[in-house]
Chain A
């Protein structure tokens, strides 16, 4: 076990990190000095991002430590069902957003909505429903950020930071947290969007090298798959069942497709995804991106297979504390197979690739708090300066929440963090997506359905116990009640949610309970940039959090 710090890697990572940070601040300064006017693509005055930037920004939502660390780690540890489902997930997500996201763009730009909770509040005339959506968004973002922290931690640990004593054990995690907190203290969406270029460039470079170089070194794709098959189909002496799944058997089908569909439906409910979509220049950029974003899915699939390469290369995944940690599979694979300097570049790519989305996520969650909780419930007449301050504090609290998730939950498989977030965020789908088409659902029925599904989903997830560690929240799959069919809890809870909403809507409508006022108009859902009443949303892009819409 290598306990010493690899200085070459550390220096390269620090240099790249520094360069990226300077770029981010330069992007922000350009803006304030006004010269960004010349860069049409940066869309000053909140005109929004075009296809090109959006591609990076939206891709960045998907292309995080999730892709680089968590999915390959799951492939390494248990194979196809818990890992490769990410490929159909990222395939079906684009047709899904193609269908409804342009409607959300239109209605938001006509009514000045910046968050999903804004839309729900306006559509149903219900502050309570808007609060529910905001709270869910903040809660669900935390484990997603937690996953990014775990990703950064894995990289720092591989470089030799940390140790096996109590104090040093969490050092890599604390470094990851400190970097993230410092990074997002003052930053709008513009800086992360700019850095997304660099980040993706680095990642493409690393993937290209890894995909073409590693199979050659390791004896070809055929032998990589054979090694994976041998490991995954072997019997685990502790459970008496196979270690994982190489090709899912019949009993794994339902788990596989529900994980894919549930994750796909959940992704664009996250506040940061909505922010990215709304920051586009016109209604169709999202659709155009839905056609070109699948390029990311291909890379995601190939990255997932790095997990199998780690099996073939027989990497040592024991952490500095001696306990095996599948999240170390990819960093250790790079460390083992590449010269130090290239491993350093790869680590920088992973670290920046975790940092940027974590920054975007915490900014989005903080804005949700400021707009839909602070301004709506705590201080209605808040000044922009107060809001900016609250946003910064909220952003820090969200990150502390993420840290709490890392420290308290089972992190055998980091992927579970994202899946747990998915269980929660998917329960806002009926209010948001169905609300884009019809107002038939009653607002109180939506609230009841949401509450039922949140409770059910959380309990189900709590009851999944990891046999190895004995911890709760050990996975995101459970049998559908009264059956032996395994499914992603998010989707089971979603089905329950919809049933409750439909039944109660019928009841509430029969009782003629007040429906609330819809502040949107049918024509809002098809409006495009340049149409009467379509506003820019400058607060999406600028520093210091949200500010009241300037008219």
Chain B
């Protein structure tokens, strides 16, 4: 139990968000219907496509949470930041 309580909030919040992103899109009974349609798309189809965005948002939040926590941990352990290491700087994000 003491180990569980030592888990940082960033990690367990991420865990919950990721669990939502995995479980909810698989609850077929919640979306296996035709109506309401959107631009001609039955609910079954547009709802799942909507989850592409919801999932991306949830995972992005987890990324921010986990990265912030990991930077803190690395700083505390006196390790460098790999994203800033070396001359390679890519035009990402």
Could you tell me which A residues sit within 8 Å of B by CB distance?
Answer: 40-41, 43, 47, 50-52, 80, 84, 87-88, 91-92, 94-96, 98-99, 220-225, 246-250, 252-253, 256-257, 260-261, 281-284, 287-288, 290-292, 294-295, 297-298, 301-302, 305, 528-531
A-B pairs with CB below 8 Å: how many? 155
Q: How far is the CA of A40 from the CA of B28 in the complex (A)?
A: 45
* Least distance between B64 CB and chain A CB atoms (Å): 9
Question: Given the complex, which residues of B lie within 8 Å of A92, measured CB to CB?
Answer: 21-22, 25-26, 55
Query: How distant is the Cα of A253 from the Cα of B27 in the complex, in angstroms?
Result: 8
Q: How far is the CB of A151 from chain B (nearest CB, A)?
A: 23
A257 closest partner in B (C-beta): B26
Q: 0/1 per residue, B63-89, Cβ < 8 Å to A? A: 100110010001000011011011111
Taking CB atoms, residues of chain B closer than 8 Å to A247 are 32-34, 42, 44
The answer to whether A222 and B22 have CB atoms under 8 Å apart is no
Contact A294-B82, Cβ < 8 Å, known A40-B90, A50-B90: no
Q: Which of B32, B34, B41, B87 contacts A40 (CB 8 A)?
A: B87
For the complex, give the distance between the alpha carbons of A199 and B70 in Å.
Answer: 35
Q: Judge whether B44 and A52 touch: CB under 8 Å.
A: no
B60 adjacent to A530 (CB under 8 Å): no
Residues A95 and B82 in contact, CB atoms below 8 Å apart: no
Chain B interface residues (CB < 8 Å from chain A): 18-19, 21-22, 25-29, 32-34, 37, 39-42, 44-45, 48-49, 51-53, 55-56, 58-60, 62-63, 66-67, 70, 74, 79-80, 82-83, 85-93
Q: Chain A residues with Cβ under 8 A from B39's Cβ?
A: 221-222
Minimal Cβ-Cβ distance residue in A for B55: A91
Q: List 21 A-B contacts (CB under 8 A).
A: A41-B88, A50-B92, A87-B51, A91-B25, A92-B22, A225-B42, A247-B32, A247-B33, A247-B42, A248-B32, A252-B32, A253-B29, A257-B26, A261-B22, A281-B82, A288-B63, A290-B59, A294-B55, A295-B56, A528-B74, A529-B82
Measured in the bound complex, the distance between the Cα atoms of B69 and A519 in whole Å is 28
* A98 touching B59, Cβ below 8 Å: yes
Contact partner of B62 among A87, A98, A297, CB < 8 A? A98
- CB-based contact B52/A260 at 8 Å: no
Q: How far is the CA of A529 from the CA of B37 in the complex (A)?
A: 48
6 A-B pairs with least C-beta separation: A222-B40, A221-B40, A51-B92, A50-B90, A40-B88, A282-B82
Whose C-beta in chain A lies nearest to the C-beta of B27? A257
Give bound CA distance, A80 to B34, whole Å. Answer: 12
User: Which B residues touch A41, using CB under 8 A?
Assistant: 88, 90
Given A47-B88, A253-B28, A292-B93, 6 further pairs, Cβ under 8 A: A87-B51, A98-B59, A252-B32, A281-B82, A294-B55, A301-B48
Given contacts A88-B51, A247-B44, contact A291 B59 (CB under 8 A): yes
Pick from A87, A292, A531: contact of B48, CB below 8 A. A87
**Shortest CB–CB separation between residue B66 and chain A, in angstroms?**
7
Distance (whole angstroms) from the CB of A309 to the closest CB of chain B: 12
Question: Which residues of the other chain, B, contact A287 by a CB distance below 8 angstroms?
Answer: 63, 66-67
Q: Is the CB of A301 within 8 A of B52?
A: yes
Complex Cα distance, B32 from A47, in Å, reads 46
B residues in contact with A298, CB < 8 Å: 49, 52-53
B83 touches A282 (CB 8 A): yes
Given contacts A92-B21, A283-B82, A528-B79, contact A225 B41 (CB under 8 A): yes
**B residues in contact with A249, CB < 8 Å:** 32
In the complex the two chains form, is A291's CB within 8 Å of B60's CB?
A: yes
B92: A residues at CB distance < 8 A: 50-52, 288
Verify A87–B26 contact, CB threshold 8 A: no
Asked if B22 and A95 sit within 8 Å, CB to CB, the answer is: yes
Closest to B19 in A: A95
Q: Which residue of B lies closest to A221 (CB)?
A: B40
In contact, A297 and B52 (Cβ under 8 angstroms): yes
Inter-chain CA distance A91–B58, complex, in Å, is 11
User: Are A52 and B42 within 8 A (Cβ)?
Assistant: no
Q: Hey, which chain A residues are within 8 Å of B83, CB to CB? A: 282, 284
> How long is the Cα–Cα vector from A528 to B80 in the complex, in angstroms?
9
In angstroms, Cα B63 to Cα A290, docked, is 9
A-chain residues with CB within 8 Å of residue B25 when the two chains form the complex: 88, 91-92, 260
The answer for the CA separation of A223 and B40 in the assembled complex, in Å, is: 8
Contact A291 B56, beta carbon cutoff 8 Å: yes
- Inter-subunit contact A260/B82 (CB<8 Å): no
B27, B48, B55, B86: the one contacting A95 at CB < 8 Å is B55
Specify which of A95, A260, A282, A305 is in contact with B58 (CB 8 Å cutoff): A95
Nearest-Cβ distance from residue B4 to partner chain A, whole angstroms: 15
Question: Within the assembled complex, what's the spacing in Å between the Cα atoms of A281 and B82?
Answer: 9
Complex: A282 Cα to B70 Cα, angstroms:
13
Q: A43–B88 contact, CB under 8 A?
A: yes
**How far in angstroms is the closest Cβ of chain B from A531?**
6
- Contact (Cβ within 8 A) A87 B49: yes
Known: A224-B40, A287-B63. A84 touches B45 (CB 8 A): yes
User: Which chain B residues border A282 with CB–CB below 8 Å?
Assistant: 82-83, 85
A52 CA to B90 CA, complexed, in Å: 8
Which of A99, A248, A294 meets B28, CB within 8 Å? Answer: A248
Inside 8 A of A297's CB, which chain B residues have their CB? 52, 55
A residues within 8 A CB of B85?
A: 282, 529-530
Q: Contact at B88–A294, with CB atoms within 8 Å? A: no
Q: Which residues of A contact B60 (CB under 8 A)?
A: 291
Across-interface contacts of A43 in B (CB, < 8 A): 88
Among residues of B, the one whose C-beta sits closest to the C-beta of A41 is B90
* B52 pairs with A305, CB closer than 8 A: no
| B72 smallest CB distance to A (angstroms) | 13
